[in-house]
Amino acid sequence: MAELPAREAMDVDVVIVGAGPAGLAAAIRLKQLAPECQVLVVEKGSEVGAHILSGAVIDPIALDRLLPEWRKEETPIKQPVTADQFYWLGKSRALRLPTWPMPPLMNNHGNFIVSLGNVCRWLAEKAQALGVDVYPGFAATEPLYGANGEVVGVATGDMGIGKDGEPKSSFTRGMELRAKYTLIAEGARGSLAKALIAIGRALEYESITANERALGIGGDLMLKRQTDHEERRQRVCDTSNSVRLADDERGMALLGVMLIMSLMLMLALAVTFTALSDKSITSNFKNLTSGFYAAEAGVNNLHRLLRNEKFVLASLPDPPRVSPGQPTLNANDFATAAEQAFKTTETFPNKSAYKTSIKIKSIQVPYPASDNDPAHAANRVRLISPLYPQLGQVEPYSVSYEMQSIGEGISGLNGSVTLVEEGVVNFKLLVKASGGGLRVGTFAEFALFLDRFDPYNPEGPFIYQGLGPGDRFAGRVHTNERFGFWTVADGSDAPTFHGHVTQADRTASYYRYGAGMPPPPIDADYDIVDGVLVAPKFLAGFDRGVAPIPPTGNAFDQARAVLDGGYALSAGPPTDGELHTALRAASDLNTPLADPKDPNSTTPTLPRGVYLPADGEVFSGSGIYVMGNADEVLLSADPSGNRRRGR
C-alpha cells in the first residue's frame, strides 16, 4: 500500500467514543462540572441513535441525578411500566408465574419503556445545549498512544480506500483527535474497547509471577485443611475421657441430625429448581427478544425497499412501453413484481433471522386522459400538453399494502415474532412518450432546491456565501452546481441536514468565519480550514456528482407545482376549476372553496389572500398560493403538525 499522508490533528480536553447513553451522560456530567472544558463526542452511526436497539426498559434513577428537571420537560421517556408478567413457555401453551417469588431485579415498577435510540437523540440535544460537540458519521478506528504507552486520543477512519487497499482519487485521511482524557463508551463489543481490554488483561497477567499463580490459593487451602484436622483430633482426644451418652440422648441426637439433613435436602431442591427455572425463563426471554429485534430489522429493510424506485418500476420493461393518455403500470404485473421483490431473508451472526413479504391489497390506477367524468379529475392521466401528447404525461397512483416480517430467535421455545404493518404509498410517474423516459418524484420532496449556487461569487460585499450556523433542514437538499458550508471561527454550530443532500458538482466548499480567503473546493464531507474542523452534519448522507435536476420552466409550472409538486416539463397554467378544487383558504381549512363560474378558464378568480393545497387535514401539495401581493406570509401548525393556518 502506498505511504499515506500524515493525519490532521485536533486537540480537545476530553474525547468520548460512542454517542450511546453512557457516552452522552458522561459528556453532560463533564460539562456540568467544568463548563469551560472542551468535550468532543464521535459516533460511527450516520446519526445519534442509529446503532442503538430500539426497545428498552430503563430505571430513571440515573437520569434523576444527571438531569433533575427532566420530568418537567418534553422527552421521549413517556410510558411507565404498569405491570410485570412472567410466563413459563412450553411448546403449545404458556403458564403464568406469580410475581411474589421473583427477585427484586425483575420488578420494573417505577421504570419506563422507551425507544433507546430516541433517548440518545434527546441526550445528544441536551449535551449540545451545554456546549458538547457531537459528530455523528465519524468512526474512531484506532487509539493513539503516547511515549509511555498511555492513551492520548483516537484517530478517525480514512475514507476513499479501494477494494485493493489502495487510496482512490477521493481518498481523505482521517483525523487525530488528541485529548487529555479519552473515554471509550462504545460498549464491550466495540473495536477500540476490545483492543484496550485485551492490552489491559495482558499487562495484568504479566504482573503475576508463575509461583504466585501456582501456590497463592493452594497454600491457603492447605493451611485451612491442616488446621481443621488438628482441631478435630483435639476434640476426639477431649471426648475420649467423657461419660457416654444415654440411649435416649443418642436417639434425640440422631433425630435432630435427620431433621437437619431433610431441611438441607429441601433447600437444595428449592435452589436447584429456582436455578433451572431462572435459566429456562432467561433463555426463552433472550430468544423471544432476539426474534423481535430480527423482525424489526426486517421491517426496516422493507421500509428501505418502499422508498426505492425499484418498488415502482420493477414491473416495467426497459425501456418502458408508453401509450399517450393511458396509464403505464399494469396493476397485476405491479403486484406480482412487488411481492416477488419483497420476499427477502437475512441471517445474523447470532443465528437469528428474519423473513419478509408484502401483499398488495389494492392499487388505484389513474383513469385515461380521455375520461371526462368530473369525479375522476384528480385521479386521471394528465398530458403535459394535450396538443403534443408525446411530450409526456403525469400518472398518479395509490397502493395499499400489508407487509409482514417474521423474526426467528436464536434457539429454544417460542422464539418466533411476527410484525405486520399496513399502509398506503402514493406516488406519481412523470412519463415521456418520446424515448420512453420515466422518473419518480416531485419538487415537493425538497426542503431546499437551488438550480444555481456558487459559494465563491456571492452578491454584495461578501467573500463567501453558504449554508452555515443555525441552518437546520429536515428534507432533501439539492443544487445543480456546488454547495458551500461554513461555521463560526472555532468550527462549532455547523449546519445540520436530516435529509439527503446532493449536488451536481464533484467538489464542495468549506469555510470558517475569519479564515481569510476561502480555500478551494474538495471532494469530501468536511475540510480542515486553518487547523479547524469544518464538518456539517449530514445525517442521511451527502452525494456529489449526481445528475442535475431540471427546474420548473416558467410561472405556469410554478403555479401548478403548488397543486401537484411540479415537474421538469411544462404542464400549462392550472384552470380556475383546479384551483378552487385543490386549494383552501389558509385561515379556514375546514371550508372548501365555492365552484367558479367558468371552471375551464385559466384566469384565476380567487379572492385576494393566502391559499394552501389541502383536504382540510393534511398538506396535499408542495407550496402556498398567494392571490395578490404579500410582503409577509405567516403559517402556523397545531400540536399534531398537520393542520395549518396562515395569513
**By residue range, what is the domain housing residue 480?**
446-544
> How far apart, in whole angstroms, are the C-alpha atoms of residue 136 and residue 496?
11
> In the predicted model, is pLDDT for residue 182 greater than 90?
yes
Q: Assess contact for 610 and 636: CB atoms under 8 A.
A: no
> How far apart, in whole angstroms, are the C-alpha atoms of residue 281 and residue 172?
50
> In the predicted model, is pLDDT for residue 91 greater than 50?
yes
Considering the domain boundaries, does residue 566 fall inside one?
no
Considering the domain boundaries, does residue 493 fall inside one?
yes
Mean pLDDT of 161-182: 82
Rounded to the nearest angstrom, the gap between the alpha carbon of residue 229 and the centroid of all alpha carbons in its chain is: 66
Residue 622 and residue 582 share a domain: yes
Q: Which residues, 6 or more positions from 177, have their beta carbon under 8 angstroms from its beta carbon? A: 9, 10, 12, 15, 40, 42, 140, 153, 154, 155, 156
- Of 77-91, 205-219, 487-501, give the lowest mean pLDDT range: 205-219
Angle of CA points 9, 14, 19, to nearest 5° = 100
pLDDT digits (tens, 9 = 90+) for 620-641: 666 788 888 776 666 665 544 4
**pLDDT-based confidence at residue 257 (cuts at 50, 70, 90):** low
| Residue that terminates a domain, selected from 158, 183, 205 | 205
> How far apart, in whole angstroms, are the C-alpha atoms of residue 513 and residue 492?
11
On the CB side of 527, CA atoms within 13 Å amount to 20
Mean pLDDT of 602-613: 87
Residue 360 and residue 419 share a domain: yes
> In the predicted model, is pLDDT for residue 464 greater than 70?
yes
Residue 480 and residue 350 share a domain: no
> In the predicted model, is pLDDT for residue 155 greater than 50?
yes
Give the residue, 205 or 284, on which the prediction is more confident. 284
Residue 634 and residue 496 share a domain: no
Residue 180 and residue 39 share a domain: yes
Q: Assess contact for 361 and 338: CB atoms under 8 A.
A: no
Residue 537 and residue 583 share a domain: no
Give the residue, 543 or 462, on which the prediction is more confident. 543
Considering the domain boundaries, does residue 107 fall inside one?
no
> How far apart, in whole angstroms, are the C-alpha atoms of residue 387 and residue 410?
63
pTM of the model: 0.36
Rounded to the nearest angstrom, the gap between the alpha carbon of residue 257 and the centroid of all alpha carbons in its chain is: 64
Considering the domain boundaries, does residue 313 fall inside one?
yes
Considering the domain boundaries, does residue 416 fall inside one?
yes
- C-alpha to C-alpha distances, 374 to 246, 286, 580, nearest whole angstrom: 114, 58, 13
pLDDT for 88: 79
Residue 199 and residue 66 share a domain: yes
Q: Cell numbers of 201, please? A: 488483561
pLDDT for 249: 53
> In the predicted model, is pLDDT for residue 483 greater than 70?
yes
Q: What percent of the chain has pLDDT over 90?
A: 21
Residue 67 and residue 117 share a domain: yes
- Report cis status (omega within 30 of 0) of the bond before 495: no
Q: Collapsing DSSP states into helix, strand and coil, what is residue 473?
A: strand
Q: Which residues, 6 or more positions from 540, have their beta carbon under 8 angstroms from its beta carbon? A: 46, 47, 497, 498, 499, 500, 501
Q: Cell numbers of 445, please? A: 420532496
pLDDT for 134: 92
pLDDT for 366: 92
Considering the domain boundaries, does residue 296 fall inside one?
yes
What crossing angle do the helices spanning 21-33 and 116-129 adopt, rounded to 10°? 20
pLDDT for 408: 80
Residue 75 and residue 49 share a domain: yes
Q: Which residues, 6 or more positions from 504, have their beta carbon under 8 angstroms from its beta carbon? A: 479, 480, 481, 482, 545, 546, 547, 548
Burial class for 239, CB neighbours closer than 10 Å (0-12, 13-18, 19+): exposed
Rounded to the nearest angstrom, the gap between the alpha carbon of residue 227 and the centroid of all alpha carbons in its chain is: 64
Q: Which residues, 6 or more positions from 256, have their beta carbon under 8 angstroms from its beta carbon? A: none
| Residue that terminates a domain, selected from 375, 408, 441 | 441
| Residue that terminates a domain, selected from 205, 238, 259 | 205
Q: Cell numbers of 214, please? A: 501456582
Residue 606 and residue 474 share a domain: no
Considering the domain boundaries, does residue 246 fall inside one?
no
- Total of domains in the chain: 4
Residue 486 and residue 381 share a domain: no
Listed residue (257, 376, 395, 250) closest to 322, CA to CA:
395
Give the residue, 284 or 254, on which the prediction is more confident. 254
Considering the domain boundaries, does residue 373 fall inside one?
yes
> In the predicted model, is pLDDT for residue 245 greater than 70?
no
Residue 77 and residue 43 share a domain: yes
Q: Cell numbers of 51, please? A: 446503532
